[in-house]
Amino acid sequence: MSSLSQLSNWQPATRHAAPTTARSINPVLARLDAAAAAQPSTIVTLSPEAIAAASAPLTTSQRYRDVGAEMLKQLGTGSVIPLEHAKLPEDVDNRFTLSIATKNGARVDLTLADVDGEMIYQVGSSAELNDDERKAMSDLAKGFQAAIDGMTGSSPAVRIGGLTQFDSKLVQSIDFHAEVAGPDSTTQTLDFHIDEAMRKVSVAGADGKAEVNVDTSTMEHAGTKQQQSKAISSYLAQFDQAVARGHGDKKLMSMFKDAFSDLNRTAIAESREDFLTKPSKWQLNSGDRSALTGLSDFSASVSQTPKSSNPRKDWEKDTFSYVVSQETRIDGTSHEDRKIAQSQQSQLSAKYHADVGKSSPPFFDGTLETQNYDYHQIEDSARSDVSVNYRLGKLKSASLQQMASQSEQVQTFILGKLKSEKAIPGQQSLVRDLLPALTSYESIKGDDALDGNTLLLGLPGELVARSEQF
């Protein structure tokens, strides 16, 4: 592939200390210095000879190592940014795009791609940037590189936490898009968007898709960093339970967990005392906050691509779908007459084949002799509702209602014929008056009187244990 153009007149990229082995050198970075003095343009292509600097073919992870970070760091050096783009090739093997909109209305676009072993990168801006804006861009270098590294690993991962940490006085929004070639001509994609009102991640690939949305338009009910970490850990444990129960794809669930964890860390406060220094419309007290999860409202889902593992019965699909959300309402005529309601819910729907009486997958080869198996169909749901009401500045009522329901149908087939069918139900509920806890001495002095007991639980057995302790 011939070179489309040469690099714009950027300052030289920062050099890294020479590694002990030639194979670990990133030839893309090695070429940045040589290209920096070339004539202005918007696209750079690096030849296969440059990439061949390593003693063996580079993996995608090696090819992109540190390159994204260097691109952003150069923005902080005062390098000239082209205002127009040359056209990139339509067909690329891998592509990473970062778009940053500033408060002043400028838009900066960075793209990294490779075609048949040849690296291409592009940088452009719709307007000139001032020094503060350039620094805000370069401060995102580690986050950009982490997002690239996550997607280029042997098992794709979502690593976008660093891109959520930006200077909101200068940056309006950030968008990150990744396309990574996988085995058998498949492609794994990731799309991330963040602004002052929302955060969103979508991933899609051969195994399925996942999406996480977080509402940051209001931070009234967001808790401390510690409270959010506790809530996130609780949810991640439930996701593990769901993928185990529904025999879902663990790699897809891992990406879902990454996205959920990174996007839901919205807290700024280190302790509840920090809220007292930032007056707000509703000014929630310690009791109010202990009744809530501390998380911003969210909706999230993960669904596995349906598969037909039994060649004799392709209508018997192996499927997995999980949906979880939180919604919070704070209203009333005034702070003294406020009403707080928070609802959390989850739903699991799954179908899978297993050896008779076991959890391991059966072996199918299309013959009748391999048609001995169990076919499981699962429909689970869980819900948690908290209500807190004030009248004339006094807490009048506070309640918690939780439910976890499981439904499993198991059909047993022997030589392809249905021999038995059974249903395995399970349900548990919990109802608590929270008024005594929220008006206790511990709550009044600022302690967490509820200790996370309003967090959603997906298993009936867990609600039984909570009921005995709480």
Structural contact between residues 358 and 306, judged by C-beta atoms closer than 8 angstroms? no
* CA–CA separation, 48 and 117 (whole Å): 6
Both tokens assigned to 353: 């084949």
* CA–CA separation, 151 and 263 (whole Å): 17
Count CA within 13 A, CB hemisphere, residue 204: 5
Both tokens assigned to 368: 């009748």
Phi, psi angles (nearest 5°) of residue 442? -60, -40
Alpha-carbon torsion angle 217, 219, 220, 221, nearest 10 = 110
Both tokens assigned to 140: 């995102």
* CA–CA separation, 250 and 207 (whole Å): 10
What confidence score (pLDDT) does residue 56 get? 58
Distance of CA 338 to the CA centre of its chain: 33
What confidence score (pLDDT) does residue 52 get? 55
Q: What are the residues whose beta carbons fall under 8 Å from the beta carbon of 138, sequence distance 6 or more?
A: 72, 73, 74, 75, 76, 77
The structural domains of the chain, with segments of one domain joined by +, span: 1-196, 197-470
pLDDT (tens place) for every residue of the chain, 470 residues total: 322 223 333 332 222 332 333 333 354 444 444 444 443 334 555 556 655 554 556 788 888 888 889 888 887 776 666 666 567 777 888 999 999 999 999 999 999 998 887 888 888 888 888 999 999 999 999 999 999 999 999 899 999 999 999 999 999 999 999 999 987 788 999 999 999 999 999 999 999 999 999 999 998 899 999 999 999 999 999 999 999 999 999 999 999 999 999 999 999 888 777 776 676 777 898 889 999 999 999 999 999 999 999 999 999 999 999 999 999 999 999 989 999 999 999 999 999 999 999 999 999 999 999 999 999 999 999 999 999 999 999 999 999 999 999 999 999 999 999 999 999 999 999 999 999 999 886 666 656 778 899 999 999 999 999 999 88
Structural contact between residues 449 and 438, judged by C-beta atoms closer than 8 angstroms? yes
Alpha-carbon Rg of the chain, whole angstroms? 27
Q: Which amino acid is at 105?
A: G
Phi, psi angles (nearest 5°) of residue 42? -125, -10
For residue 410, the SS3 value is strand
What is the DSSP-derived secondary structure letter of residue 296?
P
Structural contact between residues 255 and 158, judged by C-beta atoms closer than 8 angstroms? yes
Count of C-beta atoms within a 10 Å radius of residue 233:
12
List the one residue out of 326, 343, 178, 321 whose CA is nearest residue 264: 326
Q: Which amino acid is at 426?
A: G
Structural contact between residues 140 and 162, judged by C-beta atoms closer than 8 angstroms? yes
What is the DSSP-derived secondary structure letter of residue 393?
T
